Amino acid sequence: MKRYIFPVALALSLFVGSMSVQASEEGGLPPAGTNVHDQASLQRGAKLYFNYCVGCHSLKYMRYERIAADLGLSEQEVMQNLNFTGAKFGEPVISHMPEASAAAWFGKAPPDLSLEVRAKGADWVNAYLNSFYLDPSRPVGWNNTVFPNASMPFPLWELQGLQTAEMKPAKPGEDAQVEKLVLSHPGKLTPAQFQQATRDLTSFLEYASEPAALERHAYGVWVLLFLAFFTLLAYMLKKEYWKDVH
């Protein structure tokens, strides 16, 4: 048994270590509560993305055809309700905003969001979408507590409403820090509805970051069952080979 203890302990330590690194990267943000297996949530998130985000941000690794297949949508539904750029069904999701114009308006071209959740985590993206507030000192009139001095205007303001920041008393030689955000002007959605909307949008971006996860998770159970069965066979074969040695 001793020969098996070390590999198992090493595998567990690597797994726990990777989870600890991921948790530290999230920075203690509230959990997003996303679920890429909730197809209705992904559909709602796709609707939000294509209505509010695709004007500036591309998903260059995603094709409309793949989105339709994974989200249970027909070609007609996708082309009529999600495709606003005139792309063909088999083409990738590319924003039509010219990079030169974007750089002039925002200081730099808006990033592609295909791998945004893989890079920063679902908790970060969800918290970012909930943390915009009015800031007249910024060029676009908005700021963000999760990503301070972000150059992006808030595309979902009409849904959430207008948030303003209440500042902490500034210490000598330091800038004032945001203490909390207050919803000064309600939007079309209640706070609970808006949190669900950002959760749906984050779920869609999480799916876009790794579309194969839907199939991978489905096959995972069968792979584990096969490995368990193969381990049993290997153990029985080992017992048969070594039964005359002892």
Nearest partner of 62 among 112, 97, 102, judged by Cα: 112
Domain boundaries, the chain: 30-239
pLDDT of residue 217: 67
Query: Cα-atom radius of gyration of the chain, to the nearest Å?
Result: 24
Is residue 27's pLDDT more than 80?
no
Mean pLDDT of the chain: 85
109: nearest Cα among 148, 155, 151: 151
The pLDDT of residue 9 is above 90? no
CA distance between the termini of the chain = 16
* Residues contributing to the annotated binding site for heme c: 53, 56-57
What is the rounded distance in angstroms from the CA atom of residue 15 to the CA atom of residue 203? 24
Beta carbons within 8 Å of 106's beta carbon, 6+ residues apart: 140, 151, 152
Residue 17 pLDDT exceeds 70: no
> For 79-101, how does the pLDDT look when each residue is reduced to its tens digit (9 = 90+)?
999 998 889 999 999 998 877 66
Strands (E), the chain: 59-63, 92-93, 132-134, 142-144, 161-167, 178-186
Q: In the block, which residue shows the tokens 């096969």?
A: 226
Is residue 48 scored above 50 in pLDDT?
yes
149, two tokens: 């001095």
- Could you list the residues known to form a binding site, using ranges: 53, 56-57
Residue range 30-239, CATH number: 1.10.760.10
Residue 8 pLDDT level (bands cut at 50, 70, 90): very low
CB atoms within 10 A of CB 102: 16
State pLDDT tens for residues 137-195: 998 899 999 999 988 899 999 999 999 999 888 788 777 889 999 999 999 999 999 99
For residue 45, what pLDDT is reported?
Answer: 97
Q: Residue 209 and residue 50: Cα distance in Å, rounded?
A: 16
